[in-house]
Amino acid sequence: MKRRIGVFVCHCGINIAGVVKVPELVERAKNIPGVVTALDYVYCCSDPGQRLIRETIQKERLEGIVVACCSPNLHEATFRKAAAEAGLNPYLCEIANIREQCSWVTSDRDAATEKAEGIVRTMVAKVSHDQPLVRLGVPIVKRALVVGAGIAGIQAALDIANAGYEVVLVEKEPSIGGHMAQLSETFPTLDCSQCILTPKTVEAGRHPKIRLLTYSEVAEVSGFVGNFRVKIRQKPRYVDLDACTGCGICLEKCPVRVESVFDRNLTRRRAIYRLFPQAVPNKVVIDAQHCRQLQGKKCGVCAKVCPAQAIRYDDQERIVEEEVGAIVLATGYELFDSRRLGAYGLGVVPDVIDSLAFERILSASGPFAGEVRRPSDGRVPKRVVFVQCAGSRDSNQGVPYCSKICCMYTAKHALLYRHRVHDGEAVVCYIDVRTPGKGFEEFYRRATDEGVQYLRGKVSKIFRRGDRVVVWAADTLAGKKLEIEADMVVLASAVVPNPDGVALARRLKIPVDGWGFLSEAHPKLRPVETLTAGFFLCGCGQGPKDIPETVAQASGAAAKVLAMFGQSELYHEPVTAVVDEEICVGCGNCERTCAYEAVRVDPHRGKAVVQAVMCEGCGACSVACPAGAINLKNFTKQSLTEMVDV
């Protein structure tokens, strides 16, 4: 008995009907064996279009339908839902893509009609073989893991925790806060970064629903959406977090001084240190690499002076295991190492610094308590050159993309410098000034109005002359080459993804782009999801962005997590791989091919076993199996063969 199949041809306005001869296609479809009715409608996805489909299913007692329309990526869900409402199993509804794969790629009406018929025939063959399927229900662990506690991770964690769900917030540094804790003021409003950040860090630190794991890294993630098992490596801190009161006596007594990475090497900290004064948790940590005691030399001063007896030289690395249902990756950014731009002299010429170093100089908690001074001799610089695109938009030596935030923070840098050094001269060398953002153009105008000079042209060389820094620049608007003698140069280094975040993403098989930025599931419609179910993303780990955009994206990711936690259980697509044990010989090709670790060969029985909830239905195993023993549901060899052979 052939199934009773209905075909619905959508005009998609003129997108399809302008090329494919729809009335002719409908007539041809009626002649396909099994097809009992074929209809067309101008927009099948509209309400009346869906109603037509529902009513026809019931009137004609259809046992399968093919909707010939746009890509299944767009409306497969719509039509399957309509089919389900009419009492048909949704997996007995198939899409024949006659738009992207047909009408959009030719203007030859006859050929397009011919091809459209072929596509419809193919899908009629498929739906004739399709089995009714039921979505798989999976329980959800309603706890979330947030990786990275910069402003993105903190915001996502707070949003999820404030909705009543537990969050494990993991940060590799000894304090949360991320790069925002290093910044002075923020563009375009010039609020103090610390002042707007600390309420968030304090709230995250004290939140009863947030388990904070600082100085920790995600070691391993297993399981699947809704049911992840996470191993977190807690690095030895050598300080008992419960005992330490953060009094800071040890910080004064420690005899070792090393350059502070937090202060971009402009100051020196002790071997026992606190990342910054407002650190959360406000506890110290010992840098084992530089601690005399831990390097086997005689010392032990911090233990002697600590009134709380919180020092633990025998501290060990610990593995913390957590179960979570969703994971938010907020792994953040790093600055491009502009030392690689040899002509710009960073690291060689004194008083050439990068933008984060200048943030520290501007910061009240920075090396000069907020006064602008040169790192080399502490003098107040009278002329500062700001070099934009130091690595950005440079396919040869840097990265080809625009780092997006540099134009605005450079305007801010120049402005803040002028505010603090009234007789100082601020010169910005730029290629283009890009100000698409609320209040950005106005802010840039303010900088020029307040006397910041903008020179359009790329800087070719930066070198030392006496105690000054010489910049070879160009003014392409005036058509002149320029030599500027300055006291200090600030490079607006490109934003690159944090390398630890990239390594983590690669370990977790989360796709990244060519530069290591996390790839979203869809660049427009699914911007905070990854292609791996249960993993969400936000912040600069996904791409360069400013603070408000980061916070908005973090809240977006949190909303996605909460939408998931709001369900009683998760549903998994039933189009998963199944093994024909009669044929399977246990060679393991499927296991080695599966990117989701959803298939493994049972060592005792020598047969492949699929864990359906982990299977994403990609079909790679099916291709790798020479015997055809593993197949996707509704993509069996039989149905594929008939689809080809219609």
Partner 1 sequence: MGKIGLLPVKDNRPIQTLRELFVRWLESGRVSALLVPAVSPAGIAAPVLWSDPEKASQIYPLLPVMGINSAGVVAEIAADKAEGSRLGVVLRPCELRAVVELIKLQQIARDNLVLIGVDCAGTYKPTTLVNELKSDAGELENWITGFLTAQDRYLKDERLRRACQLCEFPVPLVYDVALGFLGVNPKEQLLIQSASELGDMLLSEVNISPVAAVPAERQVYLDHFIQNRQEQAVRMIADFDRTALGPEKLVRYFAHCINCHNCMKVCPVCYCRECFFDSEVLKRDLDGYIRVSRRKGLNRMPADTLLFHLTRMNHMMTSCVQCGICEDSCPAGIGLSVMFRKVSREAQAAFEYLSGRSLEEPLPLTTFREDEFRQIGED
| Lookup result for tokens 């957590």 | 322
Rounded CA-CA distance 201/177 in Å is: 6
Q: Which C-beta is closer to partner 1: that of 252 or that of 645?
A: 645
User: What is the DSSP-derived secondary structure letter of residue 239?
Assistant: B
Work out how close the CB of 543 gets to partner 1 at its nearest, in angstroms, rounded to a whole number. 21
Q: Which C-beta is closer to partner 1: that of 253 or that of 506?
A: 506
Work out how close the CB of 65 gets to partner 1 at its nearest, in angstroms, rounded to a whole number. 24
Q: Which C-beta is closer to partner 1: that of 43 or that of 515?
A: 515
Work out how close the CB of 587 gets to partner 1 at its nearest, in angstroms, rounded to a whole number. 4
Q: Which C-beta is closer to partner 1: that of 314 or that of 645?
A: 645
Q: Which C-beta is closer to partner 1: that of 136 or that of 624?
A: 624
Work out how close the CB of 579 gets to partner 1 at its nearest, in angstroms, rounded to a whole number. 12
Number of H helices, E strands in the chain: 17, 34
Work out how close the CB of 115 gets to partner 1 at its nearest, in angstroms, rounded to a whole number. 16
What's the CA angle centered on 315, arms 311 and 318, to 5 degrees?
135
Work out how close the CB of 627 gets to partner 1 at its nearest, in angstroms, rounded to a whole number. 4
Is the bond into 48 cis (omega within 30 degrees of 0)? no
Work out how close the CB of 112 gets to partner 1 at its nearest, in angstroms, rounded to a whole number. 21
| Lookup result for tokens 């989701």 | 596
Work out how close the CB of 535 gets to partner 1 at its nearest, in angstroms, rounded to a whole number. 20
Q: Which C-beta is closer to partner 1: that of 550 or that of 639?
A: 639
488 alpha carbon, distance to own chain's centre: 35
Q: Which C-beta is closer to partner 1: that of 330 or that of 594?
A: 594
590 in helix, strand or coil?
helix
Q: Kindly list the residues in this chain that would bind partner 1 in the complex (CB under 8 A).
A: 582-589, 592-593, 601, 606, 624, 626-629, 637-638, 641, 645
CA atoms within 13 A on the CB side of 194: 14
Work out how close the CB of 363 gets to partner 1 at its nearest, in angstroms, rounded to a whole number. 41
- Collect all residues with Cβ–Cβ distance below 8 Å to 154 and sequence separation of at least 6: 169, 176, 177, 178, 200, 201, 204, 554
Give the chain's end-to-end CA distance (angstroms, integer): 18
Burial label for 134, CB within 10 Å (0-12, 13-18, 19+), is exposed
Rounded CA-CA distance 336/388 in Å is: 13
User: What is the DSSP-derived secondary structure letter of residue 522?
Assistant: B
* Cβ count near 552 (within 10 Å): 14
Q: Which C-beta is closer to partner 1: that of 58 or that of 641?
A: 641
The phi and psi torsions of 228 (rounded to 5 degrees) equal -90, 145
Q: Which C-beta is closer to partner 1: that of 430 or that of 517?
A: 517
Q: Which C-beta is closer to partner 1: that of 217 or that of 581?
A: 581
Q: Which C-beta is closer to partner 1: that of 296 or that of 626?
A: 626
Q: Which C-beta is closer to partner 1: that of 318 or that of 637?
A: 637
C-alpha closest to that of 563 among 241, 33, 12, 140: 140
Work out how close the CB of 512 gets to partner 1 at its nearest, in angstroms, rounded to a whole number. 12
Work out how close the CB of 629 gets to partner 1 at its nearest, in angstroms, rounded to a whole number. 8
Q: Which C-beta is closer to partner 1: that of 593 or that of 611?
A: 593
The dihedral over CA atoms of 445, 448, 451, 455, expressed in degrees to the nearest 10, equals: 180
Burial label for 33, CB within 10 Å (0-12, 13-18, 19+), is exposed
Work out how close the CB of 122 gets to partner 1 at its nearest, in angstroms, rounded to a whole number. 15
Rounded CA-CA distance 414/410 in Å is: 6
Query: Are 404 and 180 spatial neighbours (Cβ–Cβ below 8 Å)?
Result: no
Work out how close the CB of 603 gets to partner 1 at its nearest, in angstroms, rounded to a whole number. 9
Is the bond into 381 cis (omega within 30 degrees of 0)? no
C-alpha closest to that of 473 among 355, 353, 383, 385: 385
3-state secondary structure 269-290: EECEECCCCCCCCCCCEECCCC
634 alpha carbon, distance to own chain's centre: 33
* Cβ count near 513 (within 10 Å): 13
